Chain A
Amino acid sequence: MAENQWPLWEIFIRSKQGLDHKHVGSLHAADAQMAIENARDVYTRRMEGVSIWVVESKYVHASNPDDAASFYDPASDKVYRHPTFYDLPDELKHM
Chain B
Amino acid sequence: MSSSTPLLEYTLHLADDVLILGHRNSEWTGHGPILEQDIALSNIALDLIGQARNFYQYAAGLAGNDSGESIYPAGGGGVVTEDTLAFLRDGWDFRNSLLTEQTNGDWAKTILRQFFFSAFQVDLYEQLAVGRDTTLAAIGAKAYKEALYHLRWSSEWVIRLGDGTDESHQRMKKALEELWKFTGELYIPAPYERWAAEAEIGPDLSQLRVRWKERVKEVFDEAGLTYPVTEWMQTGGKEGRHTEQLGYVLAEMQFLQRAYPGCEW
Contact = CB atoms under 8 A, between A and B. Distances in A.
Nearest to A9: B36
Contact of B34 (A28, A33, A45): A28
Nearest to A29: B36
A9 B36 CA distance: 12
Contacts of B37: 38
A38 B160 contact: no
- SS class, residues of chain B in contact with chain A: helix
Given A33-B156, A34-B156, A28 B43 contact: no
In this complex, the interface size class of chain B, counting residues with CB under 8 Å from chain A, is: 10 to 19
A49 B249 CA distance: 36
Residue among B36, B40, B160 with most chain A CB within 10 A: B36
B187 interface: no
A37 B34 contact: no
A41 B149 CA distance: 11
A38 B40 contact: yes
Contacts, number: 27
A55 interface: no
Contacts of B160: 30
B199 interface: no
Contacts of B39: 38, 41-42, 45
B43 A6 contact: no
A41 B34 contact: no
B153 interface: yes
Interface string A27-49: 11110011001100110010000
B40 A41 contact: yes
Contact of B153 (A27, A29, A37): A37
Contacts of A38: 36-37, 39-40
Given A33-B156, A34-B156, A37-B156, A27 B36 contact: yes
27 contacts: A6-B34, A27-B35, A27-B36, A28-B34, A28-B35, A28-B36, A29-B36, A30-B160, A33-B156, A34-B156, A37-B40, A37-B152, A37-B153, A37-B156, A38-B36, A38-B37, A38-B39, A38-B40, A41-B36, A41-B39, A41-B40, A41-B43, A42-B35, A42-B36, A42-B39, A45-B39, A45-B43
Interface of B: 34-37, 39-40, 43, 152-153, 156, 160
Given A27-B36, A34-B156, 20 more contacts: A6-B34, A27-B35, A28-B34, A28-B35, A28-B36, A29-B36, A33-B156, A37-B40, A37-B152, A37-B153, A38-B39, A38-B40, A41-B39, A41-B40, A41-B43, A42-B35, A42-B36, A42-B39, A45-B39, A45-B43
Interface of A: 6, 27-30, 33-34, 37-38, 41-42, 45
